[in-house]
């Protein structure tokens, strides 16, 4: 009976969302965040399923997760945010022996705010500032060894023929295996194209982490993806990422659903 009720609610949610007036603007599926906020009194959920695959030194790693972002507008230019990788299942297989190890649990939670600083004006971009605190709240296999945080600036330009450009520099403070924090860089640049009022695609270069080798090294990807509006306030999307160095998973794929209320 409970399962039937959950299914019924899931089918009803898009209908509620369609009643809203303003169009959804999401922070996914690309790495570069949107400069926009959801609006005062509005709630937005951006959830997804993701797969990471990597093979190195005779070991094949695969991880499944459910990244989710919750956003609530506390003002016309401010929102509060809760983000997590959700449920995670990771497997590691020794290709020589066939031995496999599996870990399951939940990812850490990140709490944050976004401030929409300015609208686009001529050559000046639309800008937003994001600040997050990362809490070591996850299950033991996936929990960071201490709290961290990040500060990012998202800047966006719109051009003729529905082309767009976004950049996102930032800094992060991350704990190492001993719990000592170190500073890393963040950077992303994305080029987008709107093909119809509902469909857009993008190509992106992203550095989730720019760090020295002793701090885990740099994590870089080349990403391609697309988003499609089912309505003004309901979006489905997908993205494929190729790791650009040995510290980054070889391939990552995600598919997501976002709704605004």
Give per-residue pLDDT as tens, 186-237: 999 999 999 999 999 999 999 999 999 888 899 999 999 999 999 999 999 9
**DSSP helix/strand/coil, 74:** coil
Residue 122 region, left (φ>0) first, then alpha (ψ -120 to 50), else beta?
Answer: left
pLDDT in tens, 36-73: 999 999 999 999 999 999 999 999 999 999 999 999 99
- Given a cut of 50, is residue 257 above it in pLDDT? yes
Query: pTM for this structure?
Result: 0.89
- Given a cut of 60, is residue 248 above it in pLDDT? yes
Which pLDDT value is given to residue 207?
A: 98
Which pLDDT value is given to residue 3?
A: 39
What average pLDDT is seen over the chain?
A: 92
| Residue 41, number of CB atoms within 10 A of its CB | 11
CA 131 to chain CA centroid, nearest Å: 14
Please give the residue range of the domain that contains residue 11.
2-260
Which pLDDT value is given to residue 216?
A: 87
Which pLDDT value is given to residue 7?
A: 37
- Given a cut of 90, is residue 131 above it in pLDDT? yes
**Rg of the chain over all Cα atoms, to the nearest angstrom:** 19
Which pLDDT value is given to residue 21?
A: 53
Which pLDDT value is given to residue 11?
A: 41
Which pLDDT value is given to residue 156?
A: 98
Q: Work out the pLDDT band at 180, boundaries 50, 70, 90.
A: confident
Which pLDDT value is given to residue 18?
A: 41
| Residue 3, number of CB atoms within 10 A of its CB | 7
pLDDT in tens, 6-38: 334 444 444 443 444 589 999 999 999 999 999
Domains held by the chain: number: 1
Q: Catalogue the long-range contacts made by 195-200 (C-beta closer than 8 Å, 24 or more residues apart).
A: 195/162, 197/229, 198/228, 198/229, 198/230, 199/226, 199/227, 199/228, 199/229, 200/162, 200/226, 200/227
Q: For 78-98, what is the mean pLDDT?
A: 97
CA 59 – CA 77 distance, rounded (Å): 47
Which pLDDT value is given to residue 60?
A: 97
Closest listed residue to residue 208, CA positions, set 105, 85, 46: 85
Closest listed residue to residue 172, CA positions, set 143, 145, 149: 149
Domain of residue 85, CATH code: 2.40.160.40
Percent of the chain with pLDDT over 70: 92
């Amino acid at each position: 009976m409970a399962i039937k009720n959950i299914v019924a609610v899931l089918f009803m949610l898009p209908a509620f969302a369609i009643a809203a007036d303003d169009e959804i603007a999401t922070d996914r599926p690309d790495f570069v965040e949107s400069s926009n906020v959801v609006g005062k009194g509005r709630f937005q959920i951006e959830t997804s399923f993701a797969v990471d695959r990597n093979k190195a030194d005779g070991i094949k790693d695969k991880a499944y997760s459910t990244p989710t972002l919750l956003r609530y507008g506390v003002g016309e230019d401010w929102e509060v945010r809760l983000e997590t990788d959700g449920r995670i299942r990771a497997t590691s297989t020794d290709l020589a022996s066939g031995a496999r190890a599996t870990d399951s649990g939940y990812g850490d939670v990140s709490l944050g705010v976004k401030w929409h600083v300015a609208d686009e004006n001529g050559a000046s971009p639309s800008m937003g500032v994001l600040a997050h605190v990362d809490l070591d709240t996850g299950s033991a296999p996936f929990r960071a060894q201490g709290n961290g945080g990040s500060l990012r600036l998202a800047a966006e330009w719109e051009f003729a023929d529905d082309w767009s450009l976004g950049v996102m520099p930032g800094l992060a403070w991350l704990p190492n295996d001993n719990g000592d924090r170190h500073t890393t860089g963040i950077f992303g640049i994305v080029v987008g194209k709107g093909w119809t009022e509902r469909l857009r695609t993008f190509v992106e270069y992203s550095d989730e982490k720019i760090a020295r080798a002793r701090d885990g090294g740099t994590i870089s990807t080349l990403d391609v993806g697309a988003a499609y509006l089912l309505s003004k306030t309901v979006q489905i999307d997908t993205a494929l990422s190729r790791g650009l160095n040995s510290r980054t998973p070889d391939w990552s794929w995600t598919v997501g659903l976002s709704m605004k209320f």
